[in-house]
Structure 1
Amino acid sequence: MFAEIKNIKSEKSDLRKFGITIGVILLVIAGFLFWKEKESFQIILAIGITLFIAGIVKPNILKP
């Protein structure tokens, strides 16, 4: 399992794409939960914003 983790692409551009993609997906889910008036949207929103900003500003912290 550790060998598989080490083989994951971890170039800066790949990490940036990952952070932005997952961040946007979580932001869309948070928007849906907000629309449905579920309180859990706050947690998903915080994680989504964190991943999105990390993907843009410092993608290296997303390294496995």
Structure 2
Amino acid sequence: MTQTQRNSSKADCESTVETLKLLSIPGFYESIKEADKQIAQGETYSLDEVFDQIPTTRASKNKL
């Protein structure tokens, strides 16, 4: 096995572990399926709609 193959195998293993971690979160897979359904139905937001809702300034610590 070459060094490149070892690095690739390690990366594949790490990716699989991360995927399994995500899929072990209760409701995660269902939320992804629901999001796919919403996208297919055109229920999406444009970048402008998303970023228009983000405050452009942070509240100072005194106001929190």
Larger helix share, 1 or 2 = 1
Instruction: Give the TM-score normalised by the residue count of structure 1.
Output: 0.38
Q: RCO higher in 1 or 2 (8 Å CA, sep ≥ 6)? A: 1
Higher radius of gyration, 1 or 2 = 2
